[in-house]
């Protein structure tokens, strides 16, 4: 039987952890990210020091193979209007772990047209709030303050991991039961939505 | 009509629970509001409540300022049988890159 394709867009802090948390599902994991691993990423992302300088998706591919003998498809491209349909085509589920309004808007436009299930993950820059929201209820936020700090020193890693876990759980619940559950996550707990 | 067990407040069908996240703390307005409340009204009520320490779970903060926050509105579901209004910080990052 052909495996369902789950496409993860962005394998940084949120997406890299989501990928490793989905490793036990019988799915084809397709990972898309144009960026490369930097030293500063190691503090908060599921990437190895050996991958510094490499494409994030290629690096993650090697880590997943080495640690878990888990194959993933690596696509080291930036999502653009001209390639979004090709990259997202055939996905049983799209996981948006991106970090900018323009790319999220592109995904939303595609999903509106294709009716593919899409789960969005989003974090506040200060690590105080996270959202795991299905497309039907998701509004992308603008970046706001230019240069707002993200998690370059790893201070928010535990909270990022919590949000990633809720995202993986939502994806698993949908893939196994067809139910769409969403969460708003804060450091003190979680509000189902 | 739904009894909010956390705050022991009854939420009518035309009302909504208002949940707030401020500087990592989270709590509900003590009383539900009309679900049709405007953005301006909600932000004003929330600001005053947090400034004066009227939100259980959120320490009083006279500097509380929600002008750059987002108000999400979620309709009642089977799992959550009351309308929910959530006041939250912006979440522009998935830290994908």
In this predicted model, what pLDDT tens digit does every residue of A7-47 receive, in sequence order? 999 999 999 999 999 999 999 999 999 999 999 999 999 99
Q: Span A4-192: which CATH code?
A: 3.40.50.720
Distance CA A64, CA A62 (A): 5
The verdict on a CB contact (< 8 Å) between A141 and B91 is yes
For B46-97, what is each residue's pLDDT tens digit? 999 999 999 999 999 999 999 989 999 999 988 789 999 999 998 877 544 4
What is the tally of helices (H) and strands (E) in chain B? 1, 7
Interface residue A59 vs chain B (CB under 8 A): no
Task: Give, in degrees to the nearest 5, the angle at Cα A106 between A138 and B38.
Answer: 35
Question: Which residues on chain A are in Cβ contact (under 8 Å) with B96?
Answer: 9-15, 33, 35, 97-100, 103
How many beta-carbon pairs below 8 A join chains A and B?
A: 120
- Using the beta-carbon criterion (under 8 Å), do A12 and B94 form an inter-chain contact? yes
For A55-67, the pLDDT digits (tens) are: 999 999 999 999 9
* Residue A44 touches partner B, C-beta closer than 8 Å: yes
Between residues A146 and A157, the one the model is more confident about: A157
- Mapping DSSP to helix (H, G, I), strand (E, B) and coil, where does residue A38 land? coil
0.90 exceeded by pTM: no
What tokens appear for A103 in the block? 């790319």
By Cβ distance, the residue of A35, A123, A188 closest to B94 is A123
- Using the Cβ of B7 and the Cβ atoms of chain A, whether some distance falls under 8 Å is answered with no
- Percentages of chain A per state (helix, strand, coil), in multiples of 5: 40, 20, 40
ipTM, 2 dp: 0.72
The CA distance from B52 to B8, in Å, is: 21
List the domain boundaries for chain A.
Answer: 4-192
Q: For strands A118-123 and A130-134, give the pairing.
A: antiparallel
């Amino acid at each position: 039987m052909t495996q369902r394709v789950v496409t993860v867009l962005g394998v940084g802090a949120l997406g890299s952890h989501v990928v490793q948390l989905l490793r036990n599902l019988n799915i084809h994991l397709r990972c898309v990210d144009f960026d490369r691993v930097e030293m500063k990423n190691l503090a908060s992302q599921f990437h190895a020091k050996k991958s510094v300088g490499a494409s994030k998706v290629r690096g993650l591919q090697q880590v997943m193979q080495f640690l878990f003998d888990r194959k993933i498809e690596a696509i080291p491209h930036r999502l653009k209007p001209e390639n979004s349909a090709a990259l997202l085509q055939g996905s049983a589920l799209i996981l948006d772990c991106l970090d900018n309004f323009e790319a999220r808007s592109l995904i939303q436009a595609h999903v509106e047209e294709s009716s593919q299930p899409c789960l969005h993950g989003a974090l506040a820059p200060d690590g105080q709030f996270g959202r795991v929201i299905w497309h039907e209820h998701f509004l992308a936020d603008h970046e706001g303050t230019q240069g707002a700090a993200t998690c370059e020193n790893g201070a928010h890693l535990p909270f990022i991991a919590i949000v990633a876990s809720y995202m993986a759980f939502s994806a698993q619940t949908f893939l196994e039961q067809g139910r769409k559950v969403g969460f708003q996550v804060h450091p003190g707990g979680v509000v189902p939505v | 009509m739904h009894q909010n067990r956390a705050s022991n407040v009854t939420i009518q069908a035309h009302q909504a629970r208002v949940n707030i996240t401020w500087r990592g703390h989270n709590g509900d307005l003590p009383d539900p509001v009309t679900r049709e409340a405007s953005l301006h009204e909600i932000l004003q009520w929330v600001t005053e409540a947090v400034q004066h320490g009227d939100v259980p779970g959120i320490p009083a903060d006279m500097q509380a300022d929600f002008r750059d926050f987002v108000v999400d509105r979620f309709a009642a579901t089977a799992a959550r049988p009351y309308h929910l209004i959530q006041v939250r910080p912006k979440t522009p990052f998935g830290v994908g890159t």
